[in-house]
Structure 1
Amino acid sequence: MKYSEANLGRIFILRLEHGDKIPDTIEGFAKANQIKSAIVFFLGGVDKDSKVVVGPEDGTSPKPVPMITSLFGVSEAVGVGTLFTNEEKSPKLHLHSAFGRNKETVTGCTREGITIWHIGEVVILELKNTSAQRKIDPGTGFELLDL
């Protein structure tokens, strides 16, 4: 285990609008507001055909290939994630969410792109005074947290 300490900075409350995309909207907001590190909470509605990473095809492969699924209908959503800048100093969101429709639930990472369906609420808690940053791990190809 590795760790870094941080202090709480600014708090932002975002109302996303119909058609807004995650992660693009949140990463764009972070860049415009110079947010380098944060905790992100999300809830709202997600449109059909949004793409979600639902696991690696093979959990033993050294460079895992992601399994991607499309949501089959408008879904309720709740998620939590982190935002840290990468080696190019660009904010990168890592947000996992659960998407529910009727009695079906899909849970996964939003990095392939989800589209807001009318309601999207995000709270961003900025983290200050931390050395945490995302860096490419040569073994997996993942952009992992470096402390």
Structure 2
Amino acid sequence: MKYSQASIGRVFILRLEQGDRLPDTIEEFAFQHKIQSATVFFLGGAEKDSKVVVGPKEGEEEKIVPTVTNLSGISESVGVGTLFINEEKLPKLHLHAAFGRGSDTITGCTREGVQIWHIGEVIILELINHIAERKVDPQTGFELLEV
């Protein structure tokens, strides 16, 4: 385990609206407000056919290929994530969420694009005074958190 201590900076409350897209909307907001790192909480509705990464494809030994599923209908959702700048100094959101419709639930990463249905509520707790950032891992190709 590696770690970096941080302090809480600004706190932002966002109301996302119909058609706003995760992660793009939050990353753009962070860029505009010069947020380099944060904890992100999300609550709201997700539009039908939003894309969710639900794990790697089975049997992929050399290259990790994500399994992506589309939400079959409008879904209730809740998620938590982190936002850190990458090597290009751009904020990148890593947010996992659970999406429920009826008795079915899908849990996964929002990186492929989740469209907001009517409303999404987001709380961003800015983290300051630390050294953490995302760097590309040559083995996986993922932008991993480095501290």
Check whether TM > 0.5: yes
Q: Which runs of 5+ in 2 are unaligned?
A: none
SS in 2 for 1:28: helix
**Where has structure 1 moved over 4 Å in runs of 4 or more?**
none
Matched, 1:50 2:50: yes
How many matched pairs? 147
Q: Which runs of 5+ in 1 are unaligned?
A: none
Answer whether contact 1:36 1:83 (CA < 8 A) is retained: yes
Please list the CA deviations of residues 5-49 of structure 1 after superposition, one character each: whole Å capped at 9, or x if unmatched: 000000000000111000000000000000001000000000000
C-alpha RMSD of matched pairs (Å): 0.9
Match of 2:83 in 1: 83
Indicate how the Cα distance of structure 1 residues 146 and 45 shifts in structure 2: closer, same or farther if over 3 A, else same.
same
Q: CA deviation at 1:62?
A: 3.9
Match of 2:21 in 1: 21
Q: Residue type of the partner of 1:31?
A: F
Q: Residue type of the partner of 2:32?
A: A
C-alpha distance in 2, partners of 1:86/1:140?
16
Q: Residue type of the partner of 2:64?
A: P
Matched, 1:134 2:134: yes
Q: CA deviation at 1:143?
A: 0.6
Alignment of 1:23-38 (within 5 A): 23-38=23-38
Answer whether contact 1:12 1:125 (CA < 8 A) is retained: yes
Indicate how the Cα distance of structure 1 residues 102 and 132 shifts in structure 2: closer, same or farther if over 3 A, else same.
same
Structure-1-length-normalised TM-score: 0.98
Identity within the alignment, %:
69
Structure-2-length-normalised TM-score: 0.98
